[in-house]
Structure 1
């Protein structure tokens, strides 16, 4: 199989790597601030995230031109369609570190992300309302991704546009996060277990309360009962998943394991913001541990993905694709 033909099967879910590493770059900025380090680690992760976005984006455009039907089929797939949301979330996250260095560029990237997010959200919700070929068995936490993007908007948006616009995006994200959480719990309790590649999607449950806390703090400007509610949910879910470490990190590696990273980064960032608001040392200690864990998780995922590429198992058709 030629390299060009392999690109036909390039996984759209690899955009989750950009989303995750961009989230880690923000966490590393906080880590450097907390420890008095120079901004080196954060910019390294930011550079890798931008590089991966350009690579993934270029391949995506090539696939859309060369294999348009494949891309359309992915957009209609009950799992793969949700990873299109990782594109807009990646743009929204990339715009955050640029705020203090290049505000105009941050605004342009943020605006593109917002427009893509708006179109995607309306399209996905319309499809779910009027298309009835989706079944409850196909529901999983990846369905959160297109809607979580709305919660990410205020992170940089509060510096670019009026608060009212940011509140609108935040509100729709929170609303459907609650709805999806209810459906997800029903799916998990009363239907067969997820297949192995979808196990990492459990971690996506951390993203709405985790990133929701950070965005809410940017909007409200102070910690209140709702902020504590969001952080409490994120912390408790994180603890629940942590004690089941072996269930998540054993067996074959799938490219879907990148779903572990962004939600973990979201909770880590929320912990730092909570420490900054309360000045309680406990949250600083938790943040330090979470940050170190993020670094190791990022390096592990990068290494395993490079192994897939080296073994030429990243871009292949069939049930064994994207696994190692």
Structure 2
């Protein structure tokens, strides 16, 4: 067996660093997808037992691994390709993905709270700090994204042609707050942040419908992102339950999520026609979020009929995220992903 020469190794490293120029913040969608899958399996532990708990832990560890790897790559990218980072922040669509970083932090902290809260005072402090960091950064990202809309179109303001479900991402981070914020003892702050998301969600939903009328359907390559509309009602329903709101509000949220999912599925043919790319990860976290809410509602009063559909949803979501992960691995190996946008 031959040992790679130092020259060849250096060449590979140089090529890898060069490819990081195209590592857009949308890559944190992988972390969100695996975190969502972890939350779904952890919720299923009430029904499926220790096996589901173990799978949820495995999914969480993989999400953490991907998060750390992406953070390292982003730091290198910022140092080597600062112009590319600045271009992402100016881009009319990609800038909204900046909110995926704090959202990933909140999700990972929330999973940690679900698994390890009250096992160690030091760990509780670390998890609380991580959640607060993600929460504050999420608020900052939300203000920054929406502040751009106050500019004129020439100065990077909102344009109907560039408005996509991607702009729901900052909203999702805010409505997510009570899921872990209540447990760590910051219910007042978490509920206030939840209110911000609850204000913006119907506004953005209305704007998306107006965009469809004004500028026509989404570009075909962005068609998977229509699934993002499923996330807000799914997370809102889970948070209503966390905040001990009337069960009817959770059922209403589940109904809205189901409607958004059915509407998204009408685009499945268009989605399958597209070459694999990062936009396909737009289906992962929404499916996981709706699966988690469905599992939770199957245990609520009057929800026993959802047990079989919830289990089927869990299987479909798991296969989807595994398929997306394999597709991403193949795309990286064949040099099809870290490339300039067409």
TM-score range with shorter-chain normalisation? over 0.9
> Does the alignment pair 1:65 with 2:79?
yes
1:136 alignment partner in structure 2: 160
User: Which of 114, 128, 131 is residue 107 of structure 1 equivalent to?
Assistant: 128
User: Which of 276, 285, 288 is residue 262 of structure 1 equivalent to?
Assistant: 285
**CA–CA separation in structure 2 for the residues paired with 1:279 and 1:21:** 30
2:94 alignment partner in structure 1: 80
2:26 alignment partner in structure 1: 13
Q: What are the residue-to-residue correspondences of 1:45-60 with 2, within 5 Å?
A: 45-60=59-74
**Cα offset, 1:131, TM superposition:** 4.7
> With structure 1 as the length reference, what TM-score do the two structures score?
0.93
> With structure 2 as the length reference, what TM-score do the two structures score?
0.88
> Does the alignment pair 1:40 with 2:54?
yes
**CA–CA separation in structure 2 for the residues paired with 1:54 and 1:131:** 37
> Does the alignment pair 1:292 with 2:279?
no
User: Which of 278, 302, 306 is residue 301 of structure 2 equivalent to?
Assistant: 278
1:196 to 1:243, Cα distance in 2 relative to 1, 3 A: closer
**CA–CA separation in structure 2 for the residues paired with 1:14 and 1:314:** 10
Deviations 1:259-288 (A, max 9, x none): 101011111111122122226321211210
1:199 alignment partner in structure 2: 223
**Cα offset, 1:58, TM superposition:** 0.9
**Cα offset, 1:243, TM superposition:** 4.8
**CA–CA separation in structure 1 for the residues paired with 2:46 and 2:152:** 48
User: Which of 229, 233, 248 is residue 225 of structure 1 equivalent to?
Assistant: 248
Where does the alignment leave 5 or more consecutive residues of structure 1 unmatched? 320-324
User: Which of 325, 328, 338 is residue 305 of structure 1 equivalent to?
Assistant: 328
User: Which of 98, 107, 118 is residue 112 of structure 2 equivalent to?
Assistant: 98
Aligned residues of 1:203 and 1:241 also touching (Cα < 8 A): yes
Count how many residue pairs are aligned between Structure 1 and Structure 2: 318
**CA–CA separation in structure 2 for the residues paired with 1:114 and 1:61:** 21
1:322 alignment partner in structure 2: none
Q: Which moved more, 1:247-256 or 1:283-292?
A: 247-256
> Does the alignment pair 1:125 with 2:146?
yes
Aligned residues of 2:277 and 2:337 also touching (Cα < 8 A): no
1:237 to 1:111, Cα distance in 2 relative to 1, 3 A: same
Matched residue SS, 1:316: coil
**Where does structure 1 differ by over 4 angstroms across 4 or more consecutive aligned residues?**
none
**Cα offset, 1:213, TM superposition:** 0.8
Matched residue SS, 1:95: helix
User: Which of 40, 48, 55 is residue 27 of structure 1 equivalent to?
Assistant: 40
**Cα offset, 1:308, TM superposition:** 0.7
2:201 alignment partner in structure 1: 177
Where does the alignment leave 5 or more consecutive residues of structure 2 unmatched? 1-13, 117-122
2:273 alignment partner in structure 1: 250
Q: Which moved more, 1:223-232 or 1:194-203?
A: 223-232
> Does the alignment pair 1:146 with 2:170?
yes
**Cα offset, 1:31, TM superposition:** 2.0
Deviations 1:27-78 (A, max 9, x none): 0112232112332211111111001101111111111222222212201212
Structure with higher Rg: it is: 2
